[in-house]
Amino acid sequence: MFLTIDDRLACVSRALEAVIIPALPPEQMLAIEQAHLSVMHIRALLGQATELSAAVDAELQDATSLRDQLCEVAELQGEKPPHSSSSSSVPEPYEKILAEVDNRIRQISANGDEQQWLAMRAPIIRHARARAQAEAYWFAEFGMPSLDNV
Give the total of residues touching other proteins (CB under 8 A).
Answer: 48
Q: Which stretch binds other proteins (CB under 8 A): 5-13, 48-56, 84-92, 136-144?
A: 136-144
Task: Give the distance from CA 61 to its chain's centroid.
Answer: 12
Cα→Cα distances 129→45, 57, 73, 110, 134, Å: 23, 17, 19, 25, 9
Positions 73 through 112 that interact with other proteins (CB under 8 A): 94-95, 98-99, 101-102, 105-106, 109-112
CB of 93 to other proteins, least distance (A): 10
Tell me the closest approach of the beta carbon of residue 13 to other proteins, in angstroms.
14
Q: Is 51 in the site for other proteins (CB under 8 A)?
A: no
Interface with other proteins includes 50 (CB under 8 A)?
no
CA distance linking residue 85 with residue 107, whole number of Å: 19
Asked whether position 33 contacts other proteins by CB under 8 A, the answer is yes
Cβ neighbours of residue 123 under 8 Å, at least 6 residues apart? 66, 69, 70, 73
Asked if 8 is part of the footprint of other proteins (rule: CB under 8 A), the reply reads no
d(CA 78, CA 50): 45
